[in-house]
A and B are shown apart, each in its own frame.
Chain A
Amino acid sequence: MTKRTVLIGLDGATFSVLDPLVDQGVMPFLKQLRWMGARAELRSVVPPLTPPAWTSLMTGRNPGHHGVFDFFLKEDNSPHIRFATSRDVRCETVWSIANRNECRVTTLNYPLMMPPPRLNGHVVAGGWMTPRQLRLGCSPDALYDSIKTIPEFDPKKVAMDMAHEEKALEGCDRDEYESWIQMHIAREEQWFGILRHLMREEPSGLTAILFDGVDKIQHLCWRFLAPEWETGTPEPWEQGVRDAALAYFSRLDRLLAEIETLAGPEATLLIASDHGFGPQTMTFFVNAWLESEGLLAWADADQPRESDAATLGMGQLARHVTMLDWKKTKAYAATPSSNGIHIVTAEKASDPGVPPAEYETFRKQLIDSLYNLRCPGTNTRLVEQIWTREEAFDGPFLHRAPDLTLGLADGGLVSILGSDAPVKLREQPSGTHRPLGVFLAKGPGIQGGIRADELSILDVAPTLLHSLGMAIPEDMEGRVAEEIFEPSFLEEDPVRYGGVAAPAEAAPPKTSDNIMFDADAEAEMAKRLRALGYIE
């Protein structure tokens, strides 16, 4: 019998939110999975960020190998920052490996899939898709016409409605929270409608869908979902937001149950998130701190200030090339999403920056200074962990990684804005990423009711391939989570390793590529990142 697997991605899902909802009866299907299947916490990559994490899940490789470290990519020897695209994924994905094993693939709403790779099956790219991009994001070309035959299909609902999404600022009007959550419920239903259509009409051996509303709702509505909610005394409107958020999770749970029914009992069901979630209570203005240390200088007085609500961090992101005084800057944070610090190195003696001979000393001093920072009001460390690029990654794209990646005490993301103080407490905690996401599995040979020890996000790809009866490429860094399978099942169907993954589907650009944000695109990106909670 041909094996089939369904992979469901829940962006940002964490057991600290899901478990209480299961206990409260909001998610009865997930409750069933407690005894029907296996579960484990899933450790993300460093940093726990959507593009590198999902790419690691799809490839079983760390970012140093697959080349995706952030939403954006700074070209080698170029000042320009551009979007990371599917062309930048430099390792073979499970989609391609499945195809090589004569298994058709359907993959819906996964990031780093635009332009869509040409697979045997169906691709609808995810990420920041506007309605007008949907047809271009579909592969094969005829897929969009097939999707359009779905009676309830509405491109404006399935893609991002930025006019509405923009309202997801932390200062979002009270009245707008509930409609914003409703928008995400509608979007998940749209994606499910596409999935159901394809599972019924053109089923694949490997079917994958990503629901990204979990992440967005947790970013904006963390305090309404946090475990501490139960001890509070909410105002009526707060209770309304809480109820709306719970309605989202309840609907999501029903969609999961419907997918399981569509897949049938003989299919393997894997559920995974790219990272977990938790509260962020402070803001570390890392570029402001670097400036105070004499390591960063702005080119003029137009540096982006904390109060600059119109451009926020993304204005700085796109323009940091011109806004920083490169003759005086030795270290800077390029994006608010990666928690990374880049060190400017001098290629020639006459160049500004840190001479190569002094790099190690400079980096060590920078690390020491960061560890000496303290949280406001306490004497505890602000920066709990610092990874050098060699500690966090390995592989041919190591040089693209930040020189240092920061793990902040509150688990939060840095700000790249200017500020009169390097660290400030937030008025209200917001939701932000944490390293531990979720992994759930049920299906043939998978034990029911077990809690396995922590797994790595790199383990998902090998486990998925094994569930399809395929050999695991030997260059995958993860392992099959054998502990979730029945021993007798593994005896009959042992894990097989063999071969290596093929080169990535798309060749990388041959020269310094391409897309610089003009001011409008930059503002658009700001809206999107702000809506996602990446910009405070």
Chain B
Amino acid sequence: MTAETRDDVFETVLNLLRKMDEEWEDSDEITPQTWLVADLGLESIDVVVLGTTIQEHYDRSMPFAEFLAEIGEQEVRDIQIDQFVDFVHQHLNATA
């Protein structure tokens, strides 16, 4: 199986976010620096579902538990798209 490049993962995450974001006319353009909660207005439960959907998409389990727990301990309890993509890419490569 060909390993996914970081750009591939970025595009996949972007596509999923567009599916979650398209209905909301007040949303700004999505960039790598976009915050999932603060900028896109996702509820935290949406972030959980995003993680589930990513795993479904790649048919791969990833340690989102630890990832989200780490985020929860940060001063800014939000996730930038770059951060999310890095996490997914790292774990795809680790098990590919």
Interface residues, chain A, CB within 8 Å of chain B?
78, 80, 82-83, 85, 87, 114-115, 128, 130-133, 135-136, 155, 162, 506-507, 509-521, 523-525, 528
Q: Which residues of A lie under 8 Å from residue B68 when comparing CB positions?
A: 515-518, 521
CB distance A132 to B21 under 8 Å?
A: yes
Complex contacts, B24 vs chain A, CB 8 Å: 132
Counting CB contacts under 8 A, is B63 at the interface? Answer: yes
* Complex Cα spacing A190 to B62, Å: 35
- A115 pairs with B53, CB closer than 8 A: yes
Decide if A513 touches B45 in the complex (CB within 8 Å). no
**Would you call B61 and A136 a contact (CB within 8 A)?**
no
Contact of B66 among A516, A520, A521 (CB under 8 A): A516
Interface of B is mostly: helix
Q: How far, in angstroms, from A245 to B65 measured CA to CA in the complex? A: 40
B45, B52, B59, B64 pick with most chain A CB within 10 angstroms = B45
Q: Which residues of A contact B72 (CB under 8 A)?
A: 518-520
List the count of A-B residue pairs having beta carbons below 8 Å apart. 94
- Residues on B lying within 8 angstroms of A by beta carbon are 16, 19-24, 37, 42-49, 51-53, 55-56, 59-66, 68-69, 71-72, 77
* Contact flag A514-B43 (CB < 8 Å), given A115-B56, A132-B24, A521-B48: no
A158 to chain B, nearest CB (A): 12
User: Given A519-B77, A520-B77, A507–B19 Cβ distance below 8 Å?
Assistant: no
Question: Which residues on the A side are within 8 Å of B20 (C-beta)?
Answer: 132-133, 135-136
- B55 and A509: CB pair below 8 A? yes
Task: Verify A136–B43 contact, CB threshold 8 A.
Answer: no
Given A514-B61, A515-B64, does the pair A128, B53 have CB atoms closer than 8 Å? Answer: no
Is the CB–CB distance between A83 and B52 below 8 Å?
A: yes
B43 and A524 contacting across the interface, CB-CB below 8 Å? yes
Q: Jot down 23 A-B pairs with beta carbons below 8 A, ordered by A.
A: A83-B48, A83-B52, A114-B49, A131-B23, A132-B20, A132-B23, A132-B46, A133-B46, A135-B20, A136-B49, A507-B59, A510-B60, A512-B61, A512-B63, A513-B55, A513-B65, A514-B62, A515-B52, A515-B64, A515-B68, A521-B48, A523-B44, A524-B44
Query: B65: shortest Cβ distance to chain A, in Å?
Result: 3
Q: What's the Cα separation between A525 and B71 when bound, in Å?
A: 18
| A160 nearest in chain B by CB position | B45
The 3 closest A-B pairs by CB, nearest first: A516-B65, A518-B72, A520-B44
Q: Does B47 contact A136, Cβ atoms closer than 8 Å?
A: no
A521/B44 in contact, CB under 8 A: yes
Known: A136-B20, A525-B45. 17 other contacts (CB 8 A): A82-B65, A83-B48, A132-B23, A133-B20, A133-B49, A136-B19, A506-B56, A509-B55, A510-B61, A514-B62, A514-B63, A514-B65, A515-B64, A516-B69, A521-B44, A521-B45, A521-B68
B65 touches A135 (CB 8 A): no
Q: How many Å lie between the Cα of A514 and that of B53 in the bound state?
A: 11
Determine how close the nearest CB of chain A comes to the CB of B78; give it in whole angstroms: 9
B69 contacts A85, CB within 8 Å?
no
